[in-house]
Each structure stands twice: as structure tokens, then as C-alpha cells.
Amino acid sequence: MSPLGSKPPAASGVYYDQGALVASATAGAASGAKHVEVPTRYDAVLLSGFGGPEGQDDVIPFLRNVTRGRGIPDERLEEVAHHYRHFGGVSPINQHNRALRAALEARLAERGLPLPVYWGNRNWVPYLNDAVARAYADGHRSLIAIPTSAYSSYSSCRQYREDWADALQDVGLQAELRIDKVRPFFNHPGFVQPFIDGVLAAIAQAESDGIVAEEVEVLFCTHSVPNADAALSGPHDLGLGAGGAYAAQHRAVAEYVMSQAAPGVAWQLVYQSRSGPPQQPWLEPDVNDAIVALRERRGVVLVPLGFVSDHMEVMWDLDTEAVDTATEAGLWVRRTPTPGVHPVFVDALADLVAERVEGRPAAQRAAVTMPGPWYDVCRPGCCENRRLGFRPAIAGLAP
């Protein structure tokens, strides 16, 4: 077992109950059904975050965790560290998750599901291995996990599943603790509504400032990923095109937001925060390139569609770099809020837990875009990382 307060090593394997197709899963999920439509009893919720430094001394150790296994020297990490150092070495993501944990626990209780919510991070304290060990010590044996990411891709879904497997092996609880995962919630109305509200407010502010809606372009911003990873996001048999499920899900949500908030206003899906070598193709266009190309517009609205909360990729890449680019281009610019702890978003997370507790049929679950509610149990080969291969993971069918 890793020392308390440290990131666990990669798991060497996973545990299957006899006859189960899904590792460390509850009975309802163990068969591998796309949607678990039988009631499932859970003892607690595992809120799972990316993690972030909370002081200058944390920055480089945190970045070492994020890039573990890639052999990146500290000198190169320092190139990224200045984003954190600009804000005192503190990412807001941990404080957000503290607030979200409390809000979710309260909302679950209001909905008649008084489940404790444990919070663990992939890359900084409190780590996931510490969180699952605490849950087990408190007598809990069946957890429903919520990643703080809404979409299908390696970094936003499968990597969480791998890290839960790492945590279970590290604390020796692979055969003792069951962890299921809520479905990707990109199209749950409670996740989408805060973005609708944000676009409505931004367009209204533009018009108040003398810029008509037709002179504004809405840029839906999300984290870029390598083209190869994007193509492998989601199940491989859906025929979703070059960007896989990751790009398709974002486009579907953006289209819905615009249909509700600003039909007829120009928009596009753009990407940010790429970190790979220049020769490796990543999803484009970059948000800054897209802003510079807006020669026929007077204003731009930045919508952080890929993000649950404000953290460094929002505060630096959008609020600092993208806003500076827009200002230099002479554009009026607004960045809309992330869902954060908006009541409808917190209720959406509670609803994701409720649908599994109830065994709610997929046809009755909340979803505002095609193809409806995404899968509860990840499909074989879903969200492969070609560079790393298939590491041990739970909450899905192998590999």
C-alpha cells in the first residue's frame, strides 16, 4: 500500500467475481449490460476529481503526478507551472470539489438518498486510494462513482476507471469493495442548462452594450486531445467519424444550447490547452486561432463547454490568454460560467445516482440530445489510449 497521501502505482490486474464480466462491479453491473435497469443498493458516493495544487510548493510535485511515466523533466514542467504560479500556486479545483461534495450530499438527502459523499483526486490530495480506504473503514462496501468530467474520451472517462482500479489494488480492496460509475452526463439537462443560461446572459449583455446578436460569434471551448485518441473515444462500432464520441458529444450539446439560447447566432466548436509535441496532430481549431479569424464579428462569447468547474484551463487558457487575444483583436468578449455548484447541475448529479438506485429504464432517463442516455457500463475497447495500451480498469467490459 502506498503511504497515506500519495498517488498509487498502476494496477497490475483487476478482480472479477465468479461469472462477472465487469471487474469490482455490483451484481447489476457485473453482467455488462449497456444500461443497468435493476435497482442497486449503494452505501456511498465517490466524487472523483483531477486534483490541483494548493500552494507554490505543490506545483511541481502535482505536475509530476499528472505526467507520470512520460519522462518529462522538471525544467519542462516549469513551463506549465507558471500558469499556476501566476495564481499563487493555487488551483481553484479543490475548493470547488469541497463545495460540490457538500452540495451533492445535501441534495441527495433532500431527494431521499442520504448517502455520504467521499472525495478523492487522481493527481493530488486527497487521493483516490485514501478516499476508498476511508469509505471501507467507515463500513461501506458498494460505491457509485462520479467523475468530474462529462464526456467520453481517454482522459475524461477511461483514465478515471484505471485510477479507480489503481486505488483498489493499492489498498487491497479489489475483492471487497464494489465501484460502479455513473453514465457520461454530457447531455443531462442539468449539466446543459447552465450553459444555456450563460449564452442567454452573454448575448443580452452584448446587445445592452450596443452589439447586435448577429455581430457575435459563440465559441464552445473544450480541452483538445490527440486526434488518435479522439478517434478511439467511445465505443468503436458507432461510426462517429474522425473525432469519435468526444467531438460528437460536444457538437450535439453545442447545437442544443444554441437552439435554446440563440438560434441564428453563429457558433463553432473550438479547442484549447493542447500539450503534445508539435508533430502530433491534436483536435483543432485552437480557440486563439479561431478568435483571430473572426474578422466579420464585433464580439465573441467563450463557453467552457468541456468543463464542470473553473480551474486552470479556464482561468489561464480562457480568462487570460483567450480574453487577451480577443481584446487585442478589438472584440467585445465575455466568458460564460461553468456549471460549478449551480443547483440544477447538483441536482443532475443526484439524479444520476437516483437512476441507478431505482434501476430506472434507459427510456425514462433525462437526456436532451441524441443518442439519448449514454452507457452505464463502458463497452469493450472504449476510449483506448494507443500510446499506453489497455491498462487495468473497472466499470467497463475488457479491454
Q: What is the DSSP string of 26-49?
A: -HHHHT--SS--S----SEEEEEE
Of all residues in the chain, what percent carry a pLDDT higher than 90?
A: 93
Per-residue pLDDT, averaged over 160-177, amounts to 98
Top pLDDT among 236 and 358 is at 358
Model pTM? 0.97
Q: What's the pLDDT at 212?
A: 97
List pLDDT tens digits, range 138-162: 999 999 999 999 999 999 999 999 9
Instruction: Look at residue 237 and tell me whether its pLDDT is greater than 80.
Output: no
Which residue from 133, 234, 171 is spatially nearest to 15, judged by alpha carbons? 171
60 HSE (CA, 13 A, CB side): 9
Which residue from 102, 151, 93 is spatially nearest to 122, judged by alpha carbons? 93
Q: What's the pLDDT at 275?
A: 86
Question: Cell numbers of 346, please?
Answer: 447538483
CB 29 within 8 A of CB 40: yes
Partners of residue 272 on adjacent β-strands:
223
d(C-alpha 282, C-alpha 227), whole Å: 5
Give the chain's mean pLDDT: 96
Q: Cis peptide leading into 126, omega within 30 of 0? A: yes
Instruction: Look at residue 4 and tell me whether its pLDDT is greater than 80.
Output: no
Domains of the chain: 27-52+91-184+342-364 (3.40.50.1400), 189-335 (3.40.50.1400)
Number of C-beta neighbours around residue 330 at 10 A: 7
Per-residue pLDDT, averaged over 327-346, amounts to 98
Stated length of the chain: 399
